[in-house]
Amino acid sequence: MNRLLDIQKKLLPELVDTMSMRYRILRFVRLMEPIGRRNLAASLEMSERVLRSEVMFLKDQGLLYVASSGMTLTEEGHNLLVQLEEVMKETFNLSTMEKKLQDIFQLDQVVIVPGDSDQFPWVKNEMGRACVAIMKKSLTERENIIAVTGGTSISAVAEMMVPNAELRQAIFVPARGGLGEQVENQANTICAEMARRASGRYRLLHVPDQLGKDSYSSLIEEPSVREILNLIRSATMVVHGIGEAKTMAKRRQSSEEVVSKLQEKKAVAEAFGYYFDHSGDIIHKVLTIGLQMEDLNALPNVIAVAGGSSKGDAIRAYMKQGPSEVLVTDEGAARAILEKTRI
């Protein structure tokens, strides 16, 4: 397969380009169906004229169904897309990149989806879909407690969640309190949305993520808070994002003193209230309610989801020391990481 793809790239480079374009169209239709041609063209940054021609081809091949409500994939289109995903991984050398990242960070599994979510936001939904597939495979026979953090990447995971017999028995819990940010990106909201889409159950943590020492000591002694914290710490699976240090400090409305410290120590990544420098060393810790880094070491399945070329440094820094076992990312972030990593 690799040899054939190499030959095609040299003798028929336009064939690979055309296949990649049609693959992108099918992927996006699967994510957003039913979708109109105008919205599809805008999302893929293609002219309507070019897209019209491609849609007619895919329709004639029996891969797309076009109706007044919009375009959807046919059953044959779904089946072909599943087969095409492995082929495109080889075409873009994503399988090789997955193995390199797995070796560099000593992970059990790395999944890279094609594209860059910085350039095409819908790629984040593809990461979400890939994460949901991993979550289903990671379910245990006993009661599953799934802890999730906030952020746009984990929100995309919630959007891609679908009902599942095993997930119906799962309990979804927030891995931390609220950050005071947009409600749709908070752990509580994402937790409830995942449970709703999976037809599962959920429990919420109604406390701020960041607290002073006195407030922290008082709150964790509250019976209701202690009960949910015990449930969170007994999670069988954790799904979390990786943030850029500067962005997370702003979202937490950190003091000027903290911001200066992060700049001085050259912080690049944040997860679970911990800030990391380029070497992966922890340089600052925020007092938070929820899962701590030391808790993760005792949990069986820890999945990190983060992508976009701009997050390459943050992912690389966190994964050097972080206890995650699985990384779901995109092509943009993977290439950015590998460019700065000696193999």
Identity of the residue numbered 161: M
Amino acid 217: pLDDT: 67
| Residue 343: pLDDT over 60 | no
pLDDT exceeds cutoff 80 at 6: no
Indicate if 92-339 has the same CATH topology as 2-84.
Answer: no
CA distance readout (Å), 12 to 5, 63, 90, 170: 10, 24, 16, 49
The topology (CATH level 3) of 92-339 is: Rossmann fold (3.40.50)
Q: Which of 35-39, 91-95, 161-165, 210-214 has the lowest mean pLDDT?
A: 210-214
* Residue 158 identity: A
DSSP assignment letter at 210: B
pLDDT for 45 equals: 87
2-84 sits in which CATH class?
mainly alpha
Q: How far apart are CA 333 and CA 25, in angstroms?
A: 22
In which band, very low, low, confident or very high, does the pLDDT at 164 lie, cut at 50, 70 and 90? confident
Neighbours of 267 (CB within 10 A): 27
Judge if pTM exceeds 0.85: yes
Residue 72 corresponds to which amino acid? T
Nearest alpha carbon to residue 24 among 98, 84, 86: 84
Confidence of residue 209 (pLDDT cuts 50, 70, 90): low
| Percentage of the chain lying above the pLDDT 70 cut | 91
Q: Give the residue among 304, 301, 302 at the shortest CA–CA distance from 316.
A: 304
> Over 80: is that where the pLDDT of 237 sits?
yes
For the chain, give every domain's residue range: 2-84, 92-339
Residue 138: C-alpha distances to residues 75, 103, 250, 300, 325 (Å): 27, 21, 34, 9, 12
Token pair listed for 308: 């976009």
Mean pLDDT score of the chain:
89
- Residue 166 is predicted with a pLDDT of 79
Q: What's the confidence (pLDDT) of residue 89?
A: 85
Q: Tell me, what DSSP letter sits at residue 208?
A: B
